[in-house]
Amino acid sequence: MRALVFLALVISSSVSWAQESRARMPKVTPEAPSYLTVNLINPEMRYERANSQEIEDVKPLNFSFGYQKKRLSFLAEYARYSEDSGNATSSIERTHQELLVWGRYHLVNKVQNELSGALYGGVGLGGYQEEVKTTLMGDSRTDKENIKMMSGLSVGGEGAYRLQNFGFVAGVEGRALIASDFDPNPVWSVVIRLGVRFAL
């Protein structure tokens, strides 16, 4: 009987000690996941000076993909657009395409259950190339420029809805795009991003 009482006391003391030890241990915060984002729908509007010297808007075809880890994210973005002017006798068609890599710092990150939101600022660096096709009386000539450097500054916000390791993301971003040949310089731009993201 004494042996049973002694054994019960030992077990009780061991359980109490284990509970106290767990209570004293610091809580480990789960590491924030990293994300891969693919944005296939990116309506954009830019404001450039046309041949008439008036500021007009152009709407590039834009898509991008990015990677985010905690407060830092990187985005590779491709954009392309064409514009033409003239008549049936003479015309000029200009095609612009560019590739930019953005680095962004998320100033505000909020997560609540499946929803998350962020405000960020970023800088971009890349290059662009333009091709001009001139047509006169049925004869055409195409001139392609060398790749030139460009840069940019951006501020924006985005929200996401997460379903386990998959989710949807939407955001809006304002940018200033800078290059020596841009008119005006910088070119102001607004882009809306709609895409999907995957937890890694």
Q: Are 95 and 80 in contact (CB under 8 A)?
A: yes
Statement: the pTM of the whole predicted model exceeds 0.95: no
Q: What fold does the segment set 32-199 form as a domain?
A: Porin (2.40.160)
CA distance 88 to 137: 8
If you average pLDDT over residues 31-36, what whole number do you get?
A: 82
Look at 161 and 33; give whichever has higher pLDDT: 161
Which of 25-29, 100-104, 139-143, 183-187 has the least mean pLDDT? 25-29
Whole-number pLDDT of residue 6: 47
Whole-number pLDDT of residue 24: 62
Average pLDDT over the chain reads 86
pLDDT digits (tens, 9 = 90+) for 56-79: 889 999 999 999 999 999 999 999
In the chain, which ranges are E strands? Answer: 34-41, 44-49, 55-58, 61-69, 72-86, 90-112, 115-136, 139-144, 148-163, 166-178, 187-199
If you average pLDDT over residues 101-130, what whole number do you get?
A: 95
Q: What are the extents of the domains in the chain?
A: 32-199
Share of the chain above pLDDT 90, in %: 59
Strand pairing category for 90-112 and 115-136: antiparallel
Six-digit token pair at 145? 């420029």
Whole-number pLDDT of residue 55: 86
SS3 state of residue 121: strand
